[in-house]
Chain A
Amino acid sequence: MNIRLITLFIILSLAACVQAPVFKAGNYASIQSNYPIVKVNGVDVEPVYSLDIDAGENSLVIIYNTYQYDYHCSFTWEAMAATAYEVTDQENREPLTLYRWVRKNGLWAIRMDPVHPLRCVRDAR
């Protein structure tokens, strides 16, 4: 009985892992990054990992840190309203990639429509 309850608890917990994104009211999208966002539409900002952004064209600079260099990666893309985006390192040609994040179900999300950085500028640390 206890094992069944524990199993049920684990299944329910796992099935609730992927939450539907919540968007700011209005014409907004959201972005999450595994690495610090330091510039938004040309304006320097304190490093942040998540943002609400206006739908439409956006540009971000995100820093991928390594022990030898910092890579300042610039993204420009057309954000759709009520859409979640995510930036992560995915062993692609450039250190970071921007994806459209789509909740598939409670267990997993899918990463769609990769956008590669326009450039990644390398600075020695």
Chain B
Amino acid sequence: MLYGSMLSVHAASPVDGVSSVTDRDIRESAIAFVNTSTTPGLEGATISLDKADRQSEQWRASLGFAAEFTLRDHIYNGFWGLAAIGGSLSDKIDLIGDAGQPVHLDITRNVVALRGSLGLSFPINEYFKLRPYLSLIVSDMRSNTIVDGLIIPVPASNTTTSVTFDTSAQMLSTVGTIDALYSRWYGDNRLELVAEYNLIYTDSFSSDNPILSTIAWNHTVQAKSRYSGPTDLTTEGRPWRWNGYVNYTSYISNDTISLGYKNFFDVGGGLDWEINIKPLDWFGWQALGIRAGVIIGQDVDGFNVGLTAR
């Protein structure tokens, strides 16, 4: 699939004070940002977040494609995918300092990543298939953190001041994914249901921040539903189909404090142009589409618009 899109999120994050922020919180926040940007199936989105003590803007976009290919003389098919991914987060958090003074954290993170996936697809019957695959993701993350309001002890006085940290980390993630896919036709309309589980192992290296030299295990789940039907539109002799979708995403292992949210629904619709070509005479590229949706959740809301290819 090809994705290029934007999303915006609102999150709740009760953070009491500077001393309550641990090294673990910093690590998990950085890894959660990279995982939410790069994990397969989570696609492109832009999220903005607006709470009394936390405002953030996160976007992620990817350009890539994934497809099955036939392995003759076998019931199972192969599956591959490649994607280039970019993401950014601007996270502003208000805390209470140890002396009771207000402390403002302004964190900017950027990530670029490459993802390659390879796996198999097992058709159980004409409606249902299981698709396990592995993805390798190489990510480069840069962070800039401004802490405003820290009290630096100076002889004979206390001074409130601002401190800036620049850090970077290179991460190598291995993701094991299993998709369960069900589809059924009702006349000219088609229903597709997908359940997806990702187990993510991340090895992070940082030359300038030892806190970020770490490993982490995370997992996510997604449930996707999509209903599509024909339209009267054609372009270059190829038909367009409408679709509506409802997706649910949960970053199960993330603490809410990491990004301010853990799960959300994504509801929207779009149009697919059935181009039906066969690049490199190897795999089928059925449709190029546009879509738009809104994001709804307990701690998050926003929207996404984008291009899709399947």
Contacts and interface: CB of A to CB of B under 8 A. Distances in A.
Interface of A: 14, 17-19, 34-35, 49, 64-69, 71, 86, 88-93, 95, 99, 101, 104, 107-112, 120, 122
Contacts of B124: 66-68
Contact of A111 (B183, B185, B277): B277
B125 A69 contact: yes
Contacts of A64: 126
A66 B281 contact: no
Interface residues of B, number: 22
B101 interface: no
Given A66-B125, A66-B126, A49 B72 contact: yes
Interface of A is mostly: strand
Contact of A14 (B70, B125, B278, B280): B280
Contacts of A86: 278
B277 A110 contact: yes
Given A95-B126, A111-B276, A17 B72 contact: no
Interface of B: 70, 72, 75, 122-126, 183, 185, 190, 275-282, 284-286
Contact of A90 (B123, B282, B286): B286
Given A17-B282, A90-B284, A93-B185, A66 B123 contact: yes
A19 B75 CA distance: 27
Nearest to A95: B126
Nearest to A88: B284
Given A14-B280, A109-B281, A111-B276, A71 B286 contact: no
B123 A67 contact: yes
Contacts of A99: 276
A18 B126 CA distance: 30
A60 B126 CA distance: 20
